[in-house]
Amino acid sequence: MQLTKPNSLYALSLIVCLAYFFTGVTALSYEVLWARMLSTIFGVSIFGAVVTISAFMAGLGAGSLLGGRLQSQIRNPLLVFGLIEFSVALFAFNLPGIFSRVDTGIQSMTADSGYSAWVFTQAVVTFFLMFIPAFGLGFGFPLILKSVVHNNISLGFVYSLNTLGGMFGALLPLMLLPVFGWVVSDRLVAVFGFFLAVLIVLLSFFVRPKFSEKTSSKKRSGDMLGWKTLSLYGAIGAAAIMMEIGWTRLYGMIMLRTEYVMAIILATFLLGIGLGSLLAARTSNKRWLLLLPVVITISALSSVYFLPVVSAWAEAVSYNSLLSSMLEQGGVIALFTLPATLAFGAWLPILVSSHKNAAVSGAYLYGANSLGGAAGGLIAGFLLIPYFGTSVVIAVSALIVMLASLYWVKDKWFRVAPILTLVLFIPILSFPAVKDLLPVSQNDSIDLQVYEDALMITHVVEDKSGQRILLADLQRMDASTAPDAITVQKNQTRLPLMLHPDPRSILFLGLGTGISASGSLPYPQIERTAVELSRGAVSAASSWFADSNNGVMNTLSIVKDDARRYLKSTDKQYDVIVGDLFHPDLVGRSNLLSLQQFTRARQRLTADGVFVQWIALNQFDLETLKVVLATFKKGFPASYIFVDGFRLALIGVRGEIGGATALKSSISKLDTRGLKEITGGEGIWTWLGRYWGPLPESDWAIQDEWAPVIEFQLPRAKFNRQLDLEKLLKFMYGLRSNYEVAVDELKISATDKPFFESAYQATNLYYQSWIAYFAGQDLESQKLLLAAYAMNPDDQWIGFGLADAMFASLEQAIGSGISEKNALDKILLIRSDHLGVLKRKLSIAEQEGDAELVEDIKRLISGLSPLDKL
């Protein structure tokens, strides 16, 4: 049956276009979901995204070229397209099982290989795996064109609808993944794909193009475009994808790379492509090809020149909700990227407008552009970013556009455009200074090191006080050399080492500054290994942080690998494994808090091994914290909590915790100096007093690599202002074991009970003081701090908390008649190493001209903080 009435055929063709819009939704949902899957495998580097994008573009291009060549021989293109959509949906539905088997095979193949060999093998295999469905989708593009473009529907309209559908498809996983997880989300989209396929098959019986048996090969070849046009439009595609990857890197960095920001960037890019194609759908004036490269280049230049301005805005702005943050951030990103993406989108319909057979020419141009995009993605991800940096990627992409445009733009003056583009990019090829990007938090800093690779952009900066800070992707501060920060980092290693009866080997899942690893130096014979992917971090730890980490790099074996991949591939076991994590809401990082990761860590422990996962309480809301606790409990049935200031130590063991017996055994091999260093001068009872209790049994949600929760829940909580420390501390306080139970759990002897009780109750009072503080009860908070200090003056966090409170009320003390000197001396009786107080005393001594006291205080400060500028 075939309808011949023009109005009916036009209406049905519009329905076909609408169906094609929704196939754009499913196609981009597949791409985003599969990129998410590959990121789970590849880790936090850009490789997963690059492989997915490149495989999709290569498949789309190859499929479109073949489809363009064969479309004239296909009697019912809609029927074939519907069957292709059905096949792709079937592939997607079964992909979780397929990939699970492929991943197992790759792990087996590369078990004895290094990280680079594993990445290469994984990239090649997954590239071809992703290529298969993308090829089908690309083959369908010319079939759709053949079905509808002769019915008064332009190629630009068809292309724009599919691309705008892709924009919604890029956002759809944000709603599906937090609720259903990766596997179910993938299959839900596949089910929708099945529905679309059936609809398209039904439409195929009503919408058919005219078919001629006598289409000559000469005519078909005449429909083809010249190789120069195809090659140069392929170069435009390469430039577009390179620019997309560059912008994703830059804007994802300054706005924090959460799943939401990544989706905004992709959706904005697709929005521009779709609108540009729609606006140019009826345009045949090739003079527009003069304007398009100029617009793209200006947009590219602006995005880099104004990067400090956008970064400063992102640092200062605050949001009332996740939705408002997405809209505002999306608006700013669109301001700089939309002009270029509109131009990229307009290019195809303008080129097609000069060819009689839009279906054939559109298929070939689309195919060439997509293949170029695949090449551009691989070049940007595996060559330009790791070796030259993101600014160079954007500069090269703009230069490619200008050079390719010389073929279409014949104006003589335009010949200088590529040279001018290169000249304009030269000043911004170097990465901007951190103080320009973060004018509030780093306004007086000095850049010491900038290192960019496929993993991240690593900065080492020196602040105005002289302390050095390690920044990963600009806004994520990994560590610093401030004395309290050094203590926190060393404590990460001190606690698990003391809980092991005889530590002989230790594994660090991440290196950072190396200061954490230096906490193991009191055990001189211990074998130290650190798994680290970032060469920037390794370089910084070996140079700029060498003094602060006491040269620990000379005793460390560095394994260049992803922490999750290493735990999966190695068969080595360790006595102690240390995991640390800041900013768990960033893309890919919450995988380090997954059930799979904790299970791997447990398998890599020796029989009496100890694993510790550190988390910062102030970076969680209550619901997300419950997810972490429940996940850790499932991965480590024998699991316990210790606290260190505002940080939780989740302790997992294969058997049961050794308690006081294990701790005494561990430190018995140390000399006096080593004992003081391993306890941080606080004594063993202070550390045992920080014991909180076993993790509770619960029915809370679990963080699974294939069903993620944290990276979606936590950004919502942050932007919706749901990070409530008072609520969090009250919840944690309710989990603590009472004293008598703790005595049994830690196997405290009757002789040691008085020492343990003082430390244990002091920690109770310390946390009660914080709860009172966040409830606005300042006086009650200080009373509790005083009581905690009286019970255990060795606890540095209690001492510093009290000293800080007294220092903050210094003006009140002076107003009540106490001299400033006496008030400062009282604080120093509590913490003689309080730098703020010492610097205040130094200022008074300088004003009074007491040269001897000035030198004494300077020596004291230099001993506590060698990098401090005095």
**Helices and strands (DSSP H and E) totals, the chain:** 35, 12
Nearest Cα to Cα of residue 400 among 374, 427, 428, 372: 372
40-84 pLDDT tens trace: 666 656 677 788 889 889 999 999 999 988 888 888 989 999 999
Task: Identify the pLDDT of residue 793.
Answer: 96
Strands 556-559 and 574-581: unpaired
pLDDT at 101: 79
- For 728, 802, 803, 835, the CA distances from 829, given in Å and listed in that order, are 32, 11, 9, 13
Give the closest residue to 303 by CA, choosing from 339, 352, 267: 339
Residue 619 tokens read as 């970076």
Q: What is the spatial distance between Cα 820 and Cα 829, in angstroms, rounded to a whole number?
A: 14
For residue 578, give the nearest of 644, 508, 648 by alpha carbon. Answer: 508
Dist. CA 52–CA 38, nearest whole Å? 8
- Tell which residue, 650, 641, 689, 647, has the closest CA to residue 484: 647
Nearest to 400 by CA among 295, 471, 297, 532: 297
pLDDT score of 220: 45
Contact 9, 156 (CB under 8 A): no
CB atoms within 10 A of CB 115: 18
Residues with Cβ within 8 Å of 414's Cβ and at least 6 positions away in sequence, in order, are 290, 405, 406
d(CA 655, CA 851): 60
* C-beta separation of 617 from 725 below 8 A: yes
Cα-trace Rg, the chain? 31
**β-pair partners for 605:** 574
pLDDT at 506: 98
d(CA 648, CA 640): 10
The tokens for 7 are 């109005």
Q: What is the dihedral of CA 457, 461, 463, 467, to 10 degrees?
A: 120
Residue with tokens 């559109």: 362
Name the DSSP letter for residue 383. Answer: I
Specify whether the CB–CB gap between 670 and 678 falls below 8 A. yes
Helices (H), 543-691: 563-569, 595-603, 622-635, 659-667, 672-678, 684-688
Cα 386 to Cα 460: distance, rounded to the nearest angstrom: 18
Query: Where does residue 641 fall: left (phi above 0), alpha (psi -120 to 50 degrees), or beta otherwise?
Result: beta
Short-list 382, 476, 535, CA closest to 46: 382
Report the amino acid identity of residue 390: T
Helices within 689-738 (DSSP H only):
710-719, 725-735
Q: Is 501 helix (H, G, I), strand (E, B) or coil?
A: coil
Note the maximum CA span of the chain. Answer: 107
Q: Which pLDDT score, from 0 to 100, does residue 46 have?
A: 67
> CA–CA distance from 326 to each of 36, 250, 252, 260, 817 (Å)?
20, 17, 13, 7, 53
CA distance 559 to 530: 6
β-partners of residue 557 are 529
* 3-state SS record for 52-88: HHHHHHHHHHHHHHHHHHHHHHCCCHHHHHHHHHHHH
Q: Which long-range contacts (CB under 8 A, 24 or more apart) does 225-228 make?
A: 225/355, 225/361, 225/364, 225/365, 228/407
d(CA 17, CA 26): 14
Residues with Cβ within 8 Å of 702's Cβ and at least 6 positions away in sequence, in order, are: 595, 627, 630, 631, 634, 709
Give the Cα separation of 53 and 99 in Å (integer): 17
Cβ atoms < 10 Å from Cβ of 531: 23
Q: Give the residue from 68, 50, 69 showing the smallest Cα distance to 58.
A: 50
Burial (CB count <10 Å: 0-12, 13-18, 19+), residue 505: middle
Question: Is the distance from CB of 76 to CB of 143 less than 8 angstroms?
Answer: no
C-alpha pair distances (Å), 116 with each of 106, 245, 382, 572, 597:
13, 21, 12, 20, 21
According to the model, what pLDDT value does residue 438 have?
A: 92
Residues in the chain: 870
Q: Is the dihedral of CA 515, 520, 522, 523 positive or negative?
A: negative
**Helix, strand, coil shares of the chain as percentages rounded to 5?**
65, 10, 25
Ramachandran region, residue 817 (left: φ > 0; alpha: ψ -120 to 50; beta: rest): left
Mean pLDDT per block of 10 residues along the chain (870 residues) reads 56 87 93 78 67 89 91 87 95 85 74 73 83 92 84 83 92 86 89 95 79 45 69 96 92 79 86 91 76 95 95 89 86 93 93 80 91 94 89 95 93 91 92 92 92 86 93 79 93 96 95 94 94 91 94 94 86 94 75 92 96 94 95 97 94 91 92 93 95 95 86 84 90 94 95 96 96 93 95 96 91 87 92 92 92 92 88
